[in-house]
Structure formats: structure tokens, C-alpha cells
A and B are shown apart, each in its own frame.
Chain A
Amino acid sequence: MTATGSTRGTIGAGQLLALYEQMSVIRRTEQAAHDLFLAGLVKGTTHLAAGHEAVAVGASAALAPDDYVFATYRGHHHAMARGASPAECLAELMSKGTGLCHAKGGSMHLTKASAGMLGSYAIVGAHLPIAAGAAWSAKLRGTSQVAVAFFGDGATNIGAFHEALNLAAVWALPVLFICENNLYMEYTPIGSVTPVAHPAADRAPAYGLPAEIVDGNDVVVVAHAVARAAERARSGGGPTILEAQTYRHFGHSRTDPASYRPAAEVEHWLGRDPLDLAAARLGALGVPPESVAAAAQRAASIVEQAVATAKAAPPPDPGDAFTDVWADGGSSWRT
């Protein structure tokens, strides 16, 4: 379901419709994850990305298949944007053996290495240096790959963010740091714990890095910004910071109702739903409403089928608890 195609020029109606459908699949998968959590079929915790779809789908549309993506514990959209199926994501959330990580990772660690999606990291900011390392590796191996670290606004106040930006800048690494600024560090307004207005972009000058603030709810804007940054990175121009302004449709995690957010603010952002913005662009490109509705319907069917598939999947083999600590597949630590 990965939408492909060049985004260096204008995104055509056909590609945009595919991106719309991909965002719809993610939106419905997140809704399904929410419902399955309430039904007790998803254990532990979830951090849903409904509302953030355009960041993941727009970025993926601008990246090459062999580029690397690193996400946070709010990472379902990135796994799916890079090609993980809703069924294997939901199976992972539901502790099924067919899950992306064989039920050993869970919601916070969705990974699809075969698609270059090299993990979802649940320690805030930890993956920024790791993504920089993948970019360093690409440089060492002489490939044209780029690495992308997606992170929240809250990550901009942890040390790893600053260490990663500094070293990536010094070594001119082909890495993109993309902040999904949804205005809240968990339950706290990011502005109340950060001395600058734009938590990621305003830090860029300290590291001599270019930064761009973009509408993270407009998939076309995101795709073009990421394409520009990736091109700069591939041509040896080093890292770029993108701050994508977006908003969560759900709370921080689990069943958080996010009642700490002002009603007017919520209303404003729900009025800027990335799906609606993409649909409006499709209309402006002359795509008939029936085609958009058909894409939404296809997404609904895909996710409905994925839920059924995940529900019917077997649990993991208990023996899997003792596999894959080591590269030989085992967990033996002594003789």
C-alpha cells in the first residue's frame, strides 16, 4: 500500500488519490486500535496517530524504498506508510503470533525492517542519534540513502536530540529530523516547557542547520518539503530540520480524553483534518467526489478485513519468549 512516485514535481491527481487512501487506511486502523483497546483486545498501551497521517504519508511519498525511517512510540502511521499492513500492525497490538514483531514488541515498537522502517522507539529522543548512525552508515557505504527520524515536540528538550543534531551537522550526514509538533508534550502544552516558539525549528540555528516549518496536515506540503530536504541530504548538503505542525485526534495514550486541551483549539484543528485537506485538493484537481468516496470505502474494507484477520490469528508460541535475544536466534547466556 506504499504510495510511490516522484514528488519533486507536482503531485498528480492519481498519486494524491493514492495518498488519500493510504491516510484513510491509517485513520481507520487507529480508530480500530482504539476500539479494540476499549474492548480489551489490545493490552498495555497505545499512542494513536490519528491526525498525524499526512506527516507519515507525505514523507514516505518523497522517500526512496531503501531509505531508512525511525519512529517513536506514536508510530503506527509510519509503519503503515512504509508498507506494514494494517493486519500485521493490529495483530501485533493484539498480541498475536502473526504480528509485525511476533508479539514481542507491541504498539510502541512497530518495526518493518524489510521496508527500511527500522523501529519505533519508546525512550523519548533516543532514536535521533540512531537515525544519524544509519545516515553515517549510508555515507560510509557510499549509497544515496537518507535516514529520517520522526519525533514529537517533547523530544526537543532531551539531551539525545541536541547530541544528534550537533554530530549530524558536524559530519554533514544525510539525515532528516522531522518533528511532529502536536502542541503537547504528553499532557503538557509544549510552550509551557520550552523557551522558544518552535521547539525544533528554533533550535536549528544553534547547530548551523536549515529548518522549515510546514503544515503537517497537508500531505502535499509535507511531501514537497521532505523531497527538498532529502535532495539536499543526498547531494551532500547535510541534515535538515522540518517542524510539521499537526494535532492529535485522540489523547496522549490509552483512553486519555485530552480534556486539558481547550475546546476552541480542538475545534480549530479538527477543522484542518488532513483527510479533508487532501479531499479538497483532490476536488480542486477535478477528481469527482465519488472517486474520493470510493477510496475511503476501499480503506474501510481493508481495515475491516484486517481486524477480522488479526482477531482470527493465533497467539504467539510460548517458546518465542526465549528466541532472538542473540543473532543465532537463541537466548543462552552461560554454559
Chain B
Amino acid sequence: MADLISYREAVAKGLAAELRRDPAVVCLGEDIGAAGGVFKTTAGLFDEFGASRIWDTPISEQAILGMAMGAAMTGMRPVAEIMFSDFFACCWDYLANEIPKMRYMTGGQVTVPLVVRTANGGGLGFGAQHSQAVENWALAIPGLKIAAPSTPADVIGLLAAAVRSDDPVVFFEHKGLFASKGPAPADGHLVELGQAAIARAGTDVTLVALAATVPLALAAAGQLAAGGVAAEVIDLRCLVPLDMRTVLESVGRTSRLVIVEENPYQGGWGGTVASIVADEGFELLDAPVRRVAAACVPLPFADALEDQVIPSVAAVLAAARSLVAY
């Protein structure tokens, strides 16, 4: 059996590999240096690469992303950390107006090859301003690539692709997965952006998931199997590029689709997936498309309340069973 590595360790390992490979890679963010990051996702980097590659910043999200952008436009490959994805709101101008538009509105004169890493999602009881799943915010902006790994191996592989991408990539690390473990990939592991993975094959119903909803969907698939229902779980891995070919092919096999997303139902990424399936895969369906998403409320603090709001295995089971019985 391959060595196990945690999702948290995979972030540092993936960054270290890119820092070693390319001297243009440089990291900046709050507490990422000697402190190793508030989630310890940059642990060890400062010791290995020093202050000239790993830069601690003040609590200045606009400066962090603006500096990363200016450096990316002039020959560097910065990897910026925004500690919690909720803080995107503090630097939204850079994610919505500056970074994604620069190449287009200059007629292709400049490129912005940078990565914005951030800790996303709920399940840890951090309350409404440190727990949101905001991948749908990024999806609202043409010009951003979006990765959201669910396994340690994908963290390393997608991070390598993101750093090497000549386009800006928003890289969502899920807080609820940091402690999870999986097989460590071989050195040089690379996962191309925009290629979904079939996390579990099945023929009766397709469960499309992302990041922390992948283990959720896999748990549901395990329980469905016990009842004789073979669910196929697709890990999108990226929202842009969005691998709809894999989704449509799966729906072609199963004729039933449940989308499991942690962002709120209102404006969630599942709406985009569902609309494409309705438009291009209508004849493939034998049942309505169901979306299991977060409720349309701010994330509450208490576990007992948070559990009510974010997707659960029970909710995925209910949705899948309703389609199989349809």
C-alpha cells in the first residue's frame, strides 16, 4: 500500500515541489512563513526556501492580491494565500475586476499567471464569516480558472497544474478535508485542469460532487450499493474548465443526476451543471435533476445547526432514492 499523506501535508508538499522546480514561484500571505500558515498548509516552506521565496504579509488582502497580480504580469509566478475564502470579499476587486480582465481588456498584451489559494467551506464550527463555501463566487467571473481538490493526491497534482498555468487559478482547499488522508502520489504528479475523475463507477444514478462533497457522495454511494443501487460518483475537481463531457457521458449511462454542492442552492454551481444537462442532455434523463446544496442562510455556528444547513449523506441518499424510484 502506498504511503499515506494528509490533505494538509499535500498542500505544503505540492508547493515545495513547484518552488524547487521553478525559481519564479514565490508565495505570499498572512502567517505563511515561520508560522507555517494558520492551517499549517505551508509548514516547512520557510525553513527550506527562506524569506526570499516565502513572504509574510500584513492583514491586507487587497495588497496581497494586487502585489501577486503585478508580480505575475512581470515575470513571476506568485502563489497568494487568502487565509479564509470568506475574505475574498475584502479583495473582490482583484478577483472580479483586475486579475480576470487584464489579459482580455489589453487585447492579449499581458498574462497573469498566478494562483490564489484559500481555505474554503464549513463543517468546523467557525461561524458565518469563516465557513462559507464560496466557489460559486469565483464561478460568476469569466477569466478565472477554478480548482477544488478532494484528495491529497489531487491537491498535489492540481496545484502543480495551477502553478504552471499561464492563467489565473483560484485554488480552493477545503477546511474539512485538511486532516483527511490518502495515498501519496509519485513525484512529478500532475493533474491537468478541467478533467473530472470518476471516483466510483456505477450505472443507476450519477452523483456529481466537488471537494468535501466527494467523500459525502462516496459515503452515500456505499449505502446505496447496500440497497442494490449502483451510484456513479464524479469528482469534478475543477469548475473552470468544467468537464461537462464526463458528466454528460455518465448521465448517458445512468439517466439520473444528483448534484451535491456545498455552496448555497441560490446561485450555486450546480445550477450551471443542471442547466447544461437540461440543454444538452435532456433526452438522456429518465428523471428530474436534483440538487443537494447548502440551505440559503448564513452558516450558523453550532454543529447542530450547521448540520441542518450543509449537505448531508442523508440528503444525498434521499435525493438519489427519489430519482431511482421516479
Query: A residues near B, CB below 8 A?
Result: 68, 70, 99-105, 109, 111-114, 118-119, 121, 123, 126-138, 140-141, 147, 159-160, 163-164, 166-167, 170-171, 320, 323-329, 331-335
Contacts and interface: CB of A to CB of B under 8 A. Distances in A.
Minimum-distance CB pairs A-B, first 9: A133-B70, A129-B66, A327-B166, A102-B107, A133-B67, A324-B108, A163-B63, A101-B107, A113-B109
A330 to B, nearest CB: 11
B15 to A, nearest CB: 17
Given A101-B107, A160-B62, 6 more contacts: A134-B74, A136-B71, A137-B70, A163-B58, A324-B107, A325-B143
Nearest to A321: B104
B98 interface: yes
B60 interface: yes
B185 interface: no
Given A140-B26, A324-B103, A134 B60 contact: no
A274 B314 CA distance: 73
Nearest to B26: A140
Given A167-B58, A327-B113, A109 B106 contact: yes
B170 interface: no
Contacts of B143: 325
B67 A104 contact: no
Nearest to A331: B142
A71 B242 CA distance: 35
A127 B98 CA distance: 9
A268 to B, nearest CB: 36
B167 interface: yes
A137 B109 contact: no
Given A136-B67, A325-B142, A126 B110 contact: no
Q: Place the interface of chain B in its size category.
A: 35 or more
Chain A facing B: main interface SS: mixed
B76 interface: yes
Given A132-B67, A133-B70, A167-B67, A335 B104 contact: no
A126 B104 contact: no
A135 B75 CA distance: 11
Contacts of B109: 101, 111-114
Given A101-B109, A136-B67, A167-B58, A68 B240 contact: no
B73 interface: yes
Contacts of A141: 74-76
5 contacts: A104-B104, A163-B63, A164-B66, A320-B107, A334-B240
A137 B71 contact: yes
A137 B244 CA distance: 38
A138 B111 CA distance: 17
Contact of A126 (B93, B111, B244): B93
Contacts of B106: 101, 104-105, 109, 111, 113, 119
Contact of B57 (A147, A167, A329, A332): A167
A320 B108 CA distance: 10
B86 interface: no
Given A163-B62, A326-B167, A327-B111, A130 B69 contact: yes
Nearest to B245: A335
A100 B108 CA distance: 10
Contact of A129 (B67, B78, B105, B110): B67
Given A113-B110, A135-B70, A167 B60 contact: yes
